[in-house]
Every structure is written in structure tokens, then in C-alpha cells.
Amino acid sequence: MRRSAVIIVSAIAVTALAISCLSSCQQLFTTSLATALARSTITIPSNLSSSEASELAAQAKANGDTKLATALVSSLVKEIAATSDAGTKASLEAAAASSAITASGIGSVLKSLSSTDLTTITPATAQSLLATIQAGATTDVLTALSYVDPTTGLSAAKSGLSSTDYLMAAVVVAASIVPQGETLSSVNPTTLATANPTQYALAQDLYTQASSLAGGSNSLISSLGSSFSI
């Protein structure tokens, strides 16, 4: 496997360590609304308040609940489009972006790599991991992640996202534009930029934000940036 593939997989794996530490420190909680949603089919109300959206997003993140996160993102994207109040819209966008990271399924990739010897990962396994991330990078997920593009959307302070969150978002967006037929060992920055200039620019912006929040000294972020030239 070429260096670029190793770097991408390593980036995801090391990010898993940060996520596991954060998750272990979060206290799980429920609300009457969250309890009502804990069923096989999840229907999110179309008029969630900012606090309800934030609470559900936090619950989905803490539990790694991709089903709740997916339903929440889908509902919030529609609600945000119909919301005119700037303050409310910003709060909903922050909840949507957080949920989009959870909904993308990158958490399952992190979990699968948490105890893996990276030197043993085969190209086939790397492709399987890429496919998992791509499957979760739906239109709604990518739309929600665009809300926290620091050049056009919410600032880091308003988004509430951490450096690790921005890094995961960058991985999801970048993975989403790897063309069919390309592999992690063959793809290059020019291919990604040509495949989807808008999404590639978003991945760059998210990576830059992650680097900024980390003070520019995070080796994981540097490796990921080198891999995708972002």
C-alpha cells in the first residue's frame, strides 16, 4: 500500500484514540423527547427548538447512534432551509454538523481500527474502510458539514466542534469525492480537486480549521494534510 493510503488509515486510527477518550468522559443522558425517539423507526419533529436539537445531537454523539444522527440531520437540513432567524439558524446548523459527523459512520471505522496493527492493513481492507465512509457521506451529511466551513459558515466558537471533529469532517468530505475505480493507493490531490472542486475546497477549509484549533502542531493533522494536499 502506498504511503498516501497508510497516512489516511493512520489518520483515522489515531483519531479513534481521541474519540475514545472524549466518549469515555461524556455522561450519557436522556430526555423525554429522546426517550420517545428510542424506537425502531425514528421520526424527528420538523420544528425542533435549538436546545432540543443540541441535546439530541449530543446524545447521538455520546452513544454513537448513527440512526438517530441520520434522522436528525435529515430533519435539520430541511428545518434550517426554512428558518430565517439568524441565531436559531446558527444553533441548528451547529447541531446538524455535529450529527453529520456521527451519521457518516466514521465512528464505526474508528472502532474497527482502535486495536489494529496498522502495518497489517491490506489494500483491500483500506478500500473497505473507504467504502464505509463513502456510504455515510450522504447529500444531507455533506450539506450539514458545509455549515461549518469556516470561510462561509459558522466559526469554530459557534460550531462547538473540536479539532478532532473538524479532522473527521475533513476525512468524510475528502473520502466522498474519491472517484469510483480509484483506490487509496492510486488517488491523488489533483484527482480529488478535479472530481469535485467545491467539496475538495470544503475539505481543505475543514482541515485548515482543525490545524488552527490544534495550534498547527498536531502530527496527525499534518499527515492527513500531506496525504490530501489540503
Which pLDDT score, from 0 to 100, does residue 126 have?
74
Domain that holds residue 155: 3-35+104-228
Residue 201: CB partners within 8 Å, gap ≥ 6? none
> Which residues lie closer than 8 Å to 131 by C-beta, 6 or more apart?
none
Q: What's the pLDDT at 179?
A: 86
The answer as to whether 49 is a domain residue is no
Q: For residue 100, which phi and psi values (nearest 5 degrees)?
A: -65, -40
* 143 compared with 195, residue with greater pLDDT: 143
Residue 99, pLDDT score: 97
Query: Is 123 buried (19+), middle (13-18) or exposed (0-12) by CB count in 10 A?
Result: middle
Is the residue at 153 inside a domain?
yes
Q: What pLDDT, on a 0 to 100 scale, did the predictor assign at position 113?
A: 65
In angstroms, how far is the first alpha carbon of the chain from the final one?
21
HSE (side-chain half, CA atoms, 13 Å) at 170? 33
Average pLDDT over residues 208-212: 87
Q: What is the reported pLDDT for 215?
A: 67
More confident site: 54 or 30: 54
The per-residue pLDDT for range 151-195, each reduced to its tens digit, is 999 999 999 999 889 988 988 998 899 888 777 667 778 888 888
* Domain contains 61: no
Q: Is residue 93 part of a domain?
A: no
| Dihedral angle sign, alpha carbons of residues 185, 189, 194, 196 | positive
Whether 54 is in a domain gets the answer no
Instruction: Indicate if the pLDDT at residue 204 is higher than 50.
Output: yes
Q: Please state the pTM of the whole predicted model.
A: 0.78
Placement of cell 493507493 in the chain: 185
Distance CA 97, CA 176 (A): 16
Overall average pLDDT of the 88-112 stretch? 90
Looking at the 3D structure of the chain, how many domains does it have? Answer: 1
190 lies in some domain = yes
Q: Which pLDDT does position 101 carry in this prediction?
A: 95
Burial of 195 (0-12, 13-18, 19+ CB in 10 A): middle
- The verdict on residue 57 lying in a domain is no
As a whole-number percent, the residues of the chain with pLDDT over 70 amount to 69
Within a domain: 123: yes
To 5 degrees, how large is the angle CA 53–CA 54–CA 58? Answer: 115
Task: Return all residues near 87 (Cβ < 8 A) that are at least 6 apart.
Answer: 50
